[in-house]
Amino acid sequence: MNQPDPAHQPNRTRRRKIVIIGAGMSGMLVAIRLQQAGITDFEILEKAASAGGTWRDNTYPGLACDVPGYLYTYSFEPNPECSHRYAHGDEIQAYFLRVFEKYGLRQYVRFNQEVDAAEYDQHRWRITTKSGEQIEADILISAVGVLHQPNYPDIPGLDRFRGDLFHSARWDHNAPLQGKRVVVIGTGSTAVQIVCGLVDQVARLKLFQRTAQWVLPAFDTPYAEWPKWIMRRLPFTAKWLHQRYDDLYHGILGGGFGKERVLFINTFRLIAERHLRTVQDPDLRRRLTPDFPFGCKRFILSDGFYKAMQQPQTELVTDGIEGIEENGIRTRDGTLHEVDVIVLATGFKAQNYVRPIKLVGEQGITLDQYWADGLKAYKTMALPGFPNFFMVQGPHSPIGNFSLIKIAEMQCDYLLQLVQHIVAGQAASLAPKATATDAYNAELQRHAQNTLWMGNGCQSWYIDSRGRLTIWPLSIGRFQALMKQPKWEDFEISIARSKRRV
């Protein structure tokens, strides 16, 4: 009879050099980079039953990436299997699963292991999972992503509705849609894609809009089989194509959204306005017109949204929601919109980052306490008082209309230098100095004042409740330069039990 593995029993403490939280795009990338550096004493804790992160969780109709498919790949692992210029969600998930298997990551992952808490003590992180297991690690890396915790709206009566109601990131594929009356709440990129994916399936489709969005044409196109055939057999052609897309896409958008980029911003606004004029009904066009400057929020790419909104079975509702009742949604004008299915395309808790994991650093300081006066980190990746803890896609990362894979690769290049410093024995622990972190964040907020996102009445998930920008305010080139090499004088480094500052 096989005996259970003691290392997998709850309430026993196991040890690892490095623990990575999350097996999505960023967690997989960290693991691959560690392997390539010859570091194999690591483990990935994944809360779900499979890898893939956001592309595993999101399976809604119409799902596609709004970054070109040949660009939205790891630079070292091209994907020749895109069916369209903007790869569909299932294709992207299939790509990540292929990478997962190719690089042998399964041996490093513990699935269904959601991290509940992590506390730093005596140069080690003590990690506790929700199953009660305890793991000790020298280094803890958060790769949980940004858009992974669904944001449920505070609408009275959500639990009263008798039909099917679910968040877009928790799509209920058992809910019947054919011939049904469906409501989509929200008007971000997800809502736009869902509208396009559902419009031909349902009897009636209502989009509840609080804020109109700027929508650019995607110029999407299907790909033929022969380029895929070539790229499968000659991988260097796919890498070349990836680089060309990188040069073009980030060459256009990578300059950032500084107020001085008037020509760039106005050009895109004119394209968006021309696209909006394809809406024939003047009243519908007026209600779909944003009341904020272009670039103030994350813009949307879609060829089909305005067409879908002009179909006879589609209706735009702009009256505020009073509450949800058993049979539908009542708006503030007193109208009851009777529906069968409600889809909450209401986004994510984008500013939670590591939370709700209970993170405790030196001297008992918690992450909630450190972020009590607003999100901040040192170069998006590390926190004073939290030694040997690092984040990929942390606060102030460039997470707008860019390829997050490119950003994650830059961050991993920087991260690996910190990790190797510890693994090589040059430090028992390291964390950024509070003074360096505060100076860095003050500089970011100074630059933030020169962006379109600040002022002009802009409101978006880029800005926190205190009115401060939480994403990168400068160009991609500036960020890449920042990630080249650590400034060791900005770190507090501990060797054994004595500390020295460099």
The per-type count for the chain, helices as H runs and strands as E runs, is 13, 21
Closest CA to 298 of 446, 469, 87, 453: 453
Confidence check: pLDDT of 50 > 70: yes
Structural element, H or E, at residue 491? strand 491-495
Answering whether pTM is above 0.75, one says yes
Kindly report whether the peptide bond that precedes residue 384 is cis, defined as omega within 30 degrees of 0.
no
Compute the average pLDDT of residues 113-128: 94
8: pLDDT confidence band, cut at 50, 70 and 90? very low
pLDDT at site 464: 82
β-strand 341-344 against 181-185: which pairing, if any?
A: parallel
498: pLDDT confidence band, cut at 50, 70 and 90? very low
14: pLDDT confidence band, cut at 50, 70 and 90? low
pLDDT at site 182: 98
The residue count of the chain comes to 502
13: pLDDT confidence band, cut at 50, 70 and 90? low
Q: How far apart are CA 253 and CA 257, in angstroms?
A: 8
Q: How far apart are CA 194 and CA 237, in angstroms?
A: 33
Higher pLDDT: 495 or 492? It is: 492
Would you kindly state where each structural domain of the chain is located, as residue ranges?
14-148+350-501, 164-214+258-344
Fold classification of 164-214+258-344 is FAD/NAD(P)-binding domain (3.50.50)
Digit-coded pLDDT (tens) for 449-486 = 888 887 766 777 788 878 888 889 998 899 999 999 99
Residue 255: strand, helix, or coil: coil
Mean pLDDT (the chain) is 91
Q: How far apart are CA 391 and CA 377, in angstroms?
A: 9
User: Quick one: what percent of the chain has pLDDT higher than 90?
Assistant: 75
Q: How far apart are CA 291 and CA 244, in angstroms?
A: 35
Three-point CA angle 454, 246, 266, nearest 5°: 40
Structural element, H or E, at residue 475? none
Compute the average pLDDT of residues 108-132: 95
496: pLDDT confidence band, cut at 50, 70 and 90? low
262: pLDDT confidence band, cut at 50, 70 and 90? confident
pLDDT at site 59: 97
Digit-coded pLDDT (tens) for 429-446 = 999 999 999 999 999 999
Fold classification of 14-148+350-501 is FAD/NAD(P)-binding domain (3.50.50)
Give, to the nearest 10 degrees, the angle between helix 235-253 and helix 225-233: 110
Q: How far apart are CA 273 and CA 266, in angstroms?
A: 10
Say if 14-148+350-501 and 164-214+258-344 have the same CATH topology. Answer: yes
Compute the average pLDDT of residues 295-299: 85
pLDDT at site 501: 38
Residue type, 218: A
Give backbone dihedrals phi and psi of 417, rounded to 5 degrees, phi first.
-65, -40
Q: Worst-scoring range by mean pLDDT, 362-376, 416-430, 459-473?
A: 459-473
12: pLDDT confidence band, cut at 50, 70 and 90? low
Confidence check: pLDDT of 53 > 90: yes
Q: How far apart are CA 214 and CA 290, in angstroms?
A: 6
